[in-house]
Amino acid sequence: MSHNSGYVLGLLAYLIYLGVSAIIGYALGSRKLRPILALWLLGYLPSAIASLLIGVSVEMNLPSLAFYLFVAGLGLGMGVVETFEPVAVSVLVKPENLSGGMGWLSVSGSVGHVISNLVMGVIFTFRQSFAYG
């Protein structure tokens, strides 16, 4: 595989992830689901399983289609998370503290992204599949 084709495949994975996440978020945005249950069963759990399967697919050299299906699964889970985390905060936080609750949600997500990206980068330098499993 050439160096440039790796970038194209990475871009394709990112587009699949974001596309599925956006579609799921849009589709579930008007649904009346219990936010905490939806977060765990439709968001965090599928995201964790999909992430593990991405690592397995890389480690076991599964076909690219399997990798992209697992990326779509990750997008599905994260679409649910991005949709229902603010809903959960709005349910769990008193109305007079809502802006602070949403601020903490934003800060924790940002800090989490920075730390997870640093950790993934360090792990990725040792072995690509370790970063996913």
Q: Give yes or no for a contact between 77 and 47, defined as CB atoms under 8 angstroms apart.
A: yes
Residue at 93: amino acid letter: V
pTM: 0.78
The token duo for 60 is 């076991």
- Cα 128 from Cα 123, distance rounded (Å): 8
Positive or negative, the CA dihedral 102, 105, 107, 110 is negative
Answer whether 101's CB lies under 8 Å from 89's CB: yes
CB atoms < 10 A from the CB of 66, how many? 16
pLDDT in tens, 56-107: 998 899 999 999 999 999 999 999 999 999 988 988 899 899 899 999 989 9
Query: How many domains is the chain built from?
Result: 1
Q: Which domain holds residue 112?
A: 3-131
